[in-house]
Amino acid sequence: MHDDTETELSLPQWEILRLLCRPAHVRRTINRQALEPLLELGLAEWHAELPVVTPTGRKVLVRGAAKLLDLAA
């Protein structure tokens, strides 16, 4: 995968990545269409039939937090 800081995700994909960090029992329904690119990039994976964030996904999420704040402003 290329440099984590260069990862370009749509706002729904950022939201899904953030949602995957929460426990499965408190998640709402996940948009599978937005989830697929996260799986392909290695930011998420299937574990026991549930999507979860990978360590790489966590890094991208942490590094992208400042970018998300800029989008919200």
Answer for the pair 19, 73: CB distance below 8 angstroms, yes or no: no
Residue 46: its H or E element: strand 44-47
Pairing of strands 44-47, 50-53: antiparallel
- Report the CATH number that the domain containing residue 47 is assigned in CATH: 1.10.10
Residues 69, 28: Cα–Cα separation, whole Å? 23
What is the model's pTM?
0.75
How high is the pLDDT of residue 73? Answer: 53
Of 49, 56, 58, nearest to 22 by C-alpha is 58
Residues spanned by the domain of 63: 4-72
How high is the pLDDT of residue 42? Answer: 95
Q: Greatest CA separation found in the chain?
A: 37
Across all residues in the chain, what is the average pLDDT?
A: 81
pLDDT in tens, the chain (73 residues): 445 445 688 888 888 999 998 888 877 788 888 899 999 999 999 998 889 999 999 999 888 766 655 555 5
Q: How many domains does the structure of the chain reveal?
A: 1
